[in-house]
Structure 1
Amino acid sequence: MIKMGEQNELIRKLRKERHLSQAFLAEGITTREAVSKFETRGTEISAQTLFAFLNKMNIEPEEYVFLLQSKNIFKQKINQVGKLLMQSGTHEQQSYIKELNQYYFETNDPFYKLISCQYQLLFNSEKLKDSEKFKSCEKVIKDYLNQVENWGRFELTLYSNVLFIFDSDLILATHKNVISKMKIYNSNAYYKYSITTFFHNVEMLFCVRKDFSSFQKILPYYKNQTKEADYCYERINYLIFEKIAQKGSSFKISEISNELSILNYLGYKQIATDITSFVEQTFGA
């Protein structure tokens, strides 16, 4: 058996931040009364029950330990399958969406609904734009992010992946608050990467929108985030964006030939290829 200590408080907070009921958390695991006693009195539960609770809330055990030690809250595990399907055909993508929706129907777990909406937008952003389905998915994600008080890695990743549904002014107005909510995660390299990715995606979005005024405003935060990057390519990415900031719309890919050569030399060939493709599509050859 596991003595809970502060763990019952953390589980209660995680559950409430997800707006899940005690009955939902208990379903298929234990009784609602048992969950209530655990949360309010810190009664002992088995390791199997604890792991079942975490799985129900899409929280990985290693992150739970991190959150427990740091006294911070909230994270859900990211579904990796969708990322692998980004370059797949429509049939595979639609099958994946259908599977997610079926999971949501069976469990009523909002995690599956959020992931489904995220990938519907990512798979079909151009086709769906301005459609009722697009607006519906957009609303699901925005409503969820607005109601979660303390963001974790899941929320930040979800936000980063669908930044294009938010206007530039809103991103600028909220990014400081977003980072302050994630501040404690910066002490851990695994989670710090999510914050760095957020800044990277924001700058890419502003490039696509040719919004170089907003681009300039975010750049200092991106610079600070990559000062002690655990992976040197993150710093190189920042230096590339710094050159883009200097040139704006007149930027040419030839101006980052040195950075691309360094990435290739260090073995980051795919990153160099992705950057080259992005620059060519955004600014032209």
Structure 2
Amino acid sequence: MEHGQLIRKLRKERNMSQAELAEGISSRTALSSFENKHSTISSDILFKYLERLNVTVQEYEFYLNDNVTPEKAYISEYFYNKVTKERDKEIAQRIHNFRAKYNDSHDFYFCCLSIELKLFLNRRNNKAIYQVDEDKQIIKDYLNHNQNWGHFEIALFSNCLYIFSSDYIRGTFPVLLKRTKKLSSIASYQNDLSIFLNNCIVLSFERQNFDDVNYYIDRLITISANTPRKAYDRMMCQYYLSLLQKLNYQPNQLATIIQQFNELGFTDHANELIKFKKQILKETKKTAKIAL
């Protein structure tokens, strides 16, 4: 469906005349010409039309694509929830497909997907199935040279955290906040940031950098106050703190928190928390004392 056709459809569904939609935004003639595919309009005017129609940009994009989630949004939503749970052979085929799509479209998004899956397979198998030194540098150069970060950059950094040193990640966090400051009032940005911090905490546990664990927990507690994920993030902070207590032979609430996730219906997630707990307990020396 064309943009003008969709605006006309949305307008009529809301029983609005062209004059009512265009008032204070554009002339009625300009709207009529746009709806009939005789002219184009600026994005500023389009967004004002959508605001008056009470249609979000996300909803508009969904309607524009014939009620189908756009390819990139679909891939992003299921990338780590579904794709990474596939067999190695299936993931290898996806790497090939994403790389081919990048070669055809020159869209850096698909280049990054292929790299992220290479890194994932190497990490899952604990060996170099793919040579990724050049790929790692591509990611690092892109993030270092891009001064204005959005959802794509935060997600890329978050998904590839383990190719960076702990000092670099912690030192870059304040830079990340500055580079994304313009987006700070957007709910999806707050979600991106909380996912990033959860990933930082998990990686810090794996690297046994417990000072960093505490640093990122403090930031997550602060940031989660303004996110739709507040309840989840606060529960995860309690889980992380309890895991620190467990490692330091102190009373903890690990079992209770995991059971709470089970009772809320997040059984798979609860099982992942149990698995992660066992992994960290196994990797951490039992005689080590951890500063809390």
Partner of 2:58: 62
CA contact (8 A) 2:190 2:226 kept: no
**Counterparts of 1:256 and 1:280, CA distance in 2:** 12
Closer/same/farther in 2, CA of residues 271 and 183 from structure 1, 3 Å limit: farther
Give the corresponding residue for 1:164: 162
Distance change >3 Å, CA 166–CA 234, structure 1 → 2: same
Match of 2:102 among 101, 104, 114: 104
Name structure 2 gaps, 5 residues minimum: 4-38, 47-55, 62-71, 284-292
Q: How far apart, in 2, do the equivalents of 1:138 and 1:64 lie?
A: 36
Show the 5 A alignment for 1:167-246: 167-231=165-229, 232-246=231-245
Amino acid at match of 2:114: S
Correspondence 1:248-267 to 2 at 5 A: 249-250=247-248, 255-267=253-265
Q: TM-score, normalised by structure 2?
A: 0.66
> Aligned with 2:215: secondary structure?
helix
Larger radius of gyration: 2
2: CA distance, partners of 1:251 / 1:154: 40
Q: How does 1:4-19 map to 2 (within 5 A)?
A: none
- 1:196 maps to amino acid: S
Distance apart, 1:262 and its partner CA: 1.6
Q: Equivalent residue of 1:133, what SS? A: coil
1:3-27: CA deviation from partner (whole Å, max 9, x where unpaired): xxxxxxxxxxxxxxxxxxxxxxxxx
Alpha-carbon distance in structure 1 between the residues aligned to 2:90 and 2:217: 37
CA distance in 2, matches of 1:148, 1:103: 23
Q: Secondary structure at the match of 1:119?
A: helix
The equivalent residue for 1:79 is 76
* Cα distance in 1 for residues equivalent to 2:249 and 2:182: 36
Which structure exhibits the higher relative contact order, with contacts defined as CA atoms closer than 8 Å and separated by 6 or more residues? 1
Residues 1:159 and 1:251: Cα distance change in structure 2 (over 3 Å): farther
Once the two structures are overlaid, the 10-residue window that deviates more, 120-129 or 221-230, is 120-129
Moved more, 226-235 or 102-111: 226-235
Give the match for residue 140 of structure 2. Answer: 142
Structure 2 CA distance for aligned equivalents of residues 260 and 148 of structure 1: 39
Over residues 119-161 of structure 1, what are the superposed CA-to-partner deviations in whole Å (9 max), with x where a residue is unaligned? 1111222658678722111111111111211111111011111
CA separation of 1:174/1:110 partners in 2, compared to 1, >3 Å: closer, same or farther?
same
Distance 1:64 1:281, change over 3 A: farther
The 3-state SS of whatever aligns with 1:187 is: coil
Q: In structure 2, give the amino acid aligned to 1:151.
A: W
Aligned length: 224
Letter of the 2:58 counterpart: E
Identity of aligned residues (%): 24
Residue number in structure 2 paired with 1:94 = 92
Which moved further from structure 2: 126-135 or 266-275? 126-135
Q: Give CA-to-partner distance per residue, 1:204-225, whole Å, 9 cap, x none.
A: 0000011112222222111101
Change in CA separation of 1:183 and 1:272 when aligned onto 2, cut-off 3 Å: farther
**What TM-score do you get using the length of structure 1 for normalisation?**
0.68
